[in-house]
């Protein structure tokens, strides 16, 4: 009896489901009101069902802009900035290691091995002839090398040959294969500090090393690179190890629309709007102008000066950190609130700090504004610790690629840079070295 009830219940549920499906099929797919044809979204009317043009497959913008370091890099506390802060640091925490070395080579000896004017892959094939180990070289046209009478352990000889050929190798003992390649995978371990991690990343980007992944839990920067990249990274590590200061720049980037199409921002008025001596230096670039201003000319006072004259659109705000006298790079798009015309813009800066000069706290700043199309402007301006740098007069239309635009010709880019110093504090036993 219970079994019959179960069967009956199942049949009822099936019939209800079929009825619902039939009702769903009878329901109108869209509302009675037809869709309005909107050419800006490429929508066509087809029996009240919108038809879209197929777009190229790419990562959706909201996912493309996801960045785990945004809370660290893109939030600037302008109210509590410290001109000088201390950073505990131990150079021994830096470790650059390859992660794709493979298995250990066989314990073989090499005696008096010589070669002359041969590509590195051919040299290795000659060396491993009759050993049962195959050489796999997928890249084309390897460097031609020469060397006389090499002797030693097999691993030492391979290290020398691949070093001469500017390549790396991995060995798979299971299939007896030695693979040579131009690029290797690297892990760069850094001291346990977010500031140092950001500083290292910005220094790498300043050296045009872009494909970087950060493991924030283990404090590791992960990237791929060739021998040139490896040498750049080792130079940066050495720079971090010997320098006593990191230079941090807090940045605010604005797009400014004058309230009248016939007017422009009256920048000359800042000479009267601020205390005498607040504007310390002015340098004209190929496009735009850089001003060195005192600390009372900050984000808030800049906005107060601009509000009566213009509408202000925030573009980007964030921080980048580099070693003293090393070039760093801040990508506007990494901290942009949404896609803007200016998100292709990079700010590169190389600064030298003089803590013990007769002008104590002097900074020599070399600032370059760059897009994928090349450099826009370059400014070389001296400043003092506590000063800010204001870049003005770069037309927003510079970033427009079409012949017509809704951006008025008097709209301009405004960049405020506020430098501060991070002093490296090393362990006591290292300070005496």
pLDDT in tens, the chain (433 residues): 544 544 445 444 444 444 444 343 333 333 444 444 444 455 554 455 777 788 888 888 777 777 777 777 887 777 776 677 777 767 677 889 998 888 999 988 999 999 999 999 999 999 998 888 999 988 878 999 999 989 999 999 999 999 999 999 999 999 999 999 999 999 999 876 788 888 888 888 888 888 888 898 888 999 999 999 999 889 888 877 777 788 889 999 999 999 888 888 999 988 888 877 889 999 999 999 999 999 888 888 899 999 999 999 999 998 888 888 888 888 888 888 667 888 889 999 998 888 776 666 889 999 999 998 899 999 999 998 889 999 999 999 999 988 889 999 999 999 999 998 888 776 654 444 4
Q: Class of 89-98+184-242 per CATH?
A: alpha beta
Distances (CA, A) of 163 to 134, 167, 181: 20, 6, 12
| Domain spans in the chain, listed from the N-terminal domain onward | 89-98+184-242, 109-181, 245-428
Helix count and strand count (H, E) for the chain? 10, 22
Sign for the pseudo-dihedral over CA of 200, 205, 206, 208: positive
Sign for the pseudo-dihedral over CA of 347, 348, 353, 358: negative
Q: Identify the pLDDT of residue 174.
A: 93
Whether CATH 3.40.190.10 fits 109-181: no
Secondary structure percentages of the chain, helix, strand, coil, to 5: 25, 40, 35
Cβ pair 177, 136 in contact under 8 A? yes
Q: How far apart are CA 412 and CA 267, in angstroms?
A: 12
Strand, helix or coil at 37? coil
Q: How far apart are CA 55 and CA 32, in angstroms?
A: 28
Cβ pair 359, 263 in contact under 8 A? no
Cβ pair 199, 187 in contact under 8 A? no
Count Cβ atoms within 10 A of the Cβ of residue 65 and give its class: 0-12 exposed, 13-18 middle, 19 or more buried: middle
Q: How far apart are CA 276 and CA 296, in angstroms?
A: 11
Phi, psi angle pair for 61, to nearest 5°: -60, -40
Q: Which residues, in sequence order, are bridge partners of residue 403?
A: none
Cβ pair 363, 384 in contact under 8 A? yes
Residue 50, token pair as written in the block: 């919108």
Q: How far apart are CA 84 and CA 423, in angstroms?
A: 7
Q: Identify the pLDDT of residue 337.
A: 67
Sign for the pseudo-dihedral over CA of 72, 78, 80, 83: positive
Residue reference for tokens 């079929």: 18
Count Cβ atoms within 10 A of the Cβ of residue 263 and give its class: 0-12 exposed, 13-18 middle, 19 or more buried: exposed
Count Cβ atoms within 10 A of the Cβ of residue 179 and give its class: 0-12 exposed, 13-18 middle, 19 or more buried: middle
**Under 8 Å CB-to-CB from 246, ≥6 apart: which residues?**
87, 195, 196, 199, 321, 322, 323, 324, 421, 422, 424
Strand, helix or coil at 382? strand
Q: Identify the pLDDT of residue 421.
A: 86
- Annotate 118-179 with DSSP letters as a single string: EEHHHHHHHHTTTTT-EEEE-SSSPPEEEEEEEEEEHHHHHHHHHHHTT-EEEEETTTTEEE
Q: Which residues, in sequence order, are bridge partners of residue 284?
A: 289
Q: How far apart are CA 71 and CA 329, in angstroms?
A: 18
Equal CATH topology for 89-98+184-242 and 109-181? no
pTM of the prediction? 0.72
Q: Identify the pLDDT of residue 171.
A: 93
Q: How far apart are CA 381 and CA 283, in angstroms?
A: 7
């Amino acid at each position: 009896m219970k079994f019959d009830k179960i069967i009956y219940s199942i049949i009822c549920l099936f019939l209800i489901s079929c009825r619902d499906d039939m009702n769903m099929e009878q329901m109108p797919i869209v509302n009675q009101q037809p869709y309005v044809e909107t050419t800006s979204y490429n929508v066509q009317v087809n029996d009240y069902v919108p038809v879209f043009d197929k777009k190229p497959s790419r990562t959706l913008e909201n996912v493309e802009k996801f960045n785990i370091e945004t809370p660290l890099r893109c939030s600037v506390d302008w109210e509590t900035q410290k001109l000088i802060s201390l950073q505990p640091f131990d150079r021994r925490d830096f470790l650059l290691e390859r992660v794709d070395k493979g298995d250990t080579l066989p314990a073989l000896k090499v005696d008096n091995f010589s070669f002359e004017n041969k590509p590195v892959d051919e040299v290795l094939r000659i060396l491993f002839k009759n050993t049962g180990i195959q050489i796999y070289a997928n890249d084309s046209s390897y460097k031609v090398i020469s060397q006389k009478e090499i002797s030693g352990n097999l691993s030492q000889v391979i290290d020398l040959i691949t070093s001469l050929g500017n390549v790396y190798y991995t060995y798979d003992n299971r299939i007896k294969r030695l693979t040579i390649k131009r690029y290797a995978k690297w892990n760069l371990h850094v001291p346990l500090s977010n500031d140092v991690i950001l500083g290292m990343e910005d220094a790498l980007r300043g050296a045009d090393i872009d494909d970087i992944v950060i493991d924030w839990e283990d404090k590791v920067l992960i990237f791929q690179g060739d021998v040139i990249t490896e040498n750049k990274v080792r130079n940066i590590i050495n720079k971090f190890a010997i320098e006593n200061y990191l230079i941090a720049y807090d940045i605010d980037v604005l797009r400014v629309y004058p309230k009248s199409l016939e007017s422009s921002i009256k920048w000359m008025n800042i000479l009267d709007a601020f205390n005498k001596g607040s504007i310390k230096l002015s340098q004209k670039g190929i496009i735009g102008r850089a001003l060195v201003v005192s600390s009372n000319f900050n984000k808030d006072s800049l906005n107060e000066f601009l509000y009566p004259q213009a509408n202000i659109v925030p573009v980007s705000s964030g921080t980048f950190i580099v070693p003293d006298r090393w070039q760093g790079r801040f990508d506007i798009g990494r901290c942009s609130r949404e896609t803007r015309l200016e998100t292709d813009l990079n700010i590169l800066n190389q600064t030298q700090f003089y803590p013990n000069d007769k002008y104590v706290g002097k900074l020599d700043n070399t600032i370059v504004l760059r897009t994928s199309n090349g450099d826009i402007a370059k400014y070389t301006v001296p400043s003092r610790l506590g000063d800010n740098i204001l870049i003005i007069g770069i037309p927003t239309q510079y970033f427009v690629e079409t012949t017509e635009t809704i951006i008025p010709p008097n709209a301009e880019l405004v960049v405020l840079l506020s430098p501060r110093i991070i002093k490296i504090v090393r362990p006591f036993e290292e300070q005496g070295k």
